[in-house]
Amino acid sequence: MDLDEVTISRAIVQEQSRVLLEYMEMDVAIVGGGPSGLACAALLGERGIKCALIEKKLSIGGGMWGGGMMFPRIVVQEEARRLLDRFGIAYREHAPGYYVASSVEAVSKLTAAACSAGVEFFNLTTVEDVMVKGDGRVSGLVINWTPVEMAGLHVDPFTLACSYTIDATGHDAVVARLVEAKGTDLAVKGEGFMWAGRAETNIIRHTREIYPGLVVTGMAANAVAGENRMGPIFGGMLLSGEFAAGLVAERLGR
């Protein structure tokens, strides 16, 4: 077969332009492709909810790829083991209540589950602002290419409309801080010291709608609440993503 380079390029441009146009309006926009964002996206997609995951980096997976100190293994506690089973992630019991899994397999299977559920991914995309209109709720995201931000270029952005935004951006709590910076009553307290037991125990309580139309999940939820950090144990991330998906689905009546 004599391949035509222009046909290849045209296929990519046309298909991704079609997807971008289709997702200019959606039910849920998830910002951040770490464990909580991936789990949330997969579970929302399975409910037939139109959602996209927006990731500023080239790769999906957030901090999960590196495991602990670049050892590609993660730990999940007993309460979250069912989610490893749910997504077909293999694990070994290290000690009673402590289960060790491959970080590479975990990211891959969570990503595959989200893809299979119909979730669209927009990587290398940065959220630089939010859209709030007369009803006072977050109703859209202002996006630009991550390389534009990195280069400090002045390039006007696009806007995506959504019924709900889920901030899954981890320690930085990017979307929550954008809302905070507008002079709202929202205050992002920032994460506390390392205390895995406390952080994992309280993360579900912190996974909530912090501003009309904006839900926080994963480490972003703990950062907003001023909660402790937990290191390379990821059960709370998965449970938080699951809880956020259920919360938003309920709000949407789905």
Task: Name the residue ranges covered by the structural domains of the chain.
Answer: 31-134+141-251
Q: Does 156 belong to an annotated binding site?
A: yes
Contacts of 96 (CB under 8 A, 6+ apart): none
R_g (Cα) of the chain, nearest Å: 18
What's the CATH number for 31-134+141-251?
Answer: 3.50.50.60
Q: Does 63 belong to an annotated binding site?
A: yes
Separation CA 84–CA 81 (nearest Å): 5
Q: Does 134 belong to an annotated binding site?
A: no
Following CA atoms 202, 206, 207, 213 in sequence, which dihedral angle do they give, to the nearest 10 degrees?
180
Following CA atoms 66, 72, 75, 81 in sequence, which dihedral angle do they give, to the nearest 10 degrees?
110
Pairing assessment for the beta strands 98-102 and 91-95 based on DSSP bridges: antiparallel
pTM across the whole model: 0.97
DSSP per residue over 151-189, as a string? HT-----EEEEEEEEEE--GGG-HHHHHHHTTT-S----
Tell me the CB-side half-sphere exposure of residue 230, using CA atoms within 13 A: 28
User: In a structure prediction context, what are the per-residue pLDDT tens digits for the chain, which is 254 residues long?
Assistant: 899 999 999 999 999 999 999 999 999 999 999 999 999 999 999 999 999 999 999 999 999 999 999 999 999 999 999 999 999 999 999 999 999 999 999 999 999 999 999 999 999 999 999 999 999 999 999 999 999 999 999 999 999 999 999 999 999 999 999 999 999 999 999 999 999 999 999 999 999 999 999 999 999 999 999 999 999 999 999 999 999 999 999 999 99
Q: Would you state the pLDDT for residue 84?
A: 98
Q: Would you state the pLDDT for residue 198?
A: 97
Q: Does 171 belong to an annotated binding site?
A: yes
Q: Would you state the pLDDT for residue 185?
A: 93
Q: Does 9 belong to an annotated binding site?
A: no
Q: What tokens does 19 get? A: 């997807």
Separation CA 248–CA 4 (nearest Å): 45
